[in-house]
Amino acid sequence: MRIEGVPMPVQMVLSALSKSDAALRLAIPKMEMPEAPRQGAQAAPTLQAATTVHVLLAAATALETPKDKRRREARPAARGLEILEQLHAAQVKGLPDAAALDALSQWAALFEMPDDPELAEIARDIELRVRVELAKHDRTV
């Protein structure tokens, strides 16, 4: 199956998809290639670049391995640990680190539990430690 009007890099990604990814192929809208502007005429802005990015992101998500998914889900928890380490380093020096506390507050407000049960257990411990640190400094989420 060939989808007409799709830029070559996107076409290469689509051709690499297996037959089981037919749902993705059907979900991709038919894209029109922009015409070259005539002399003296300005080119009209197109949405093709944004559409192409969305197609590539959809294809990349569909082709994500379990290891990549787990790594992606672990990143937010790792970020929470990094901020906790920054706060600890500042406290060892005897300095309150308002920037780290602000970052912890923002992290706690936006944090979502991962789907993986093992990662979720670790993430709960990290989130609890973040909330304890925020409570020690009279910060709320």
Q: How far is CA 128 from the centre of its chain?
A: 23
Is a pLDDT exceeding 60 seen at residue 45? no
Q: What confidence score (pLDDT) does residue 17 get?
A: 53
Distance CA 28, CA 25 (A): 6
C-alpha–C-alpha distance, residues 82 and 79, integer Å? 5
CB 87 within 8 A of CB 97: yes
Predicted confidence at residue 13, as pLDDT, reads 55
Report, as an integer, the average pLDDT of 18-45. 52
Q: How far is CA 58 from the centre of its chain?
A: 12
Predicted pLDDT at 62: 74
5 alpha carbon, distance to own chain's centre:
28
Does pLDDT of 2 surpass 70?
no
Side chain identity at residue 138, one-letter code: D
Find all residues with CB under 8 Å of 127, minimum gap 6, and list them: 80, 108, 111
The pLDDT of residue 41 is: 56
Q: Give the residue with greater pLDDT, 58 vs 92.
A: 92
pLDDT tens by residue, 61-76: 777 788 888 898 999 9
Q: Is 61 or 129 the better-scoring residue by pLDDT?
A: 129
pLDDT beyond 50 at 82:
yes
Q: Show me where the domains of the chain are located.
A: 8-62, 66-136
Place of tokens 């406290």: 91
Measured distance CA(29)–CA(83) in Å, rounded: 42
Residue 99 to residues 18, 106, 128, Cα–Cα distance (Å): 47, 11, 20
Yes or no: say if 51 and 29 are a contact pair by the CB < 8 Å rule. Answer: yes
pLDDT at residue 116 greater than cutoff 60 = yes
In this prediction, residues 82-98 reach a mean pLDDT of 89
What number is the average pLDDT over the span 99-106? 92
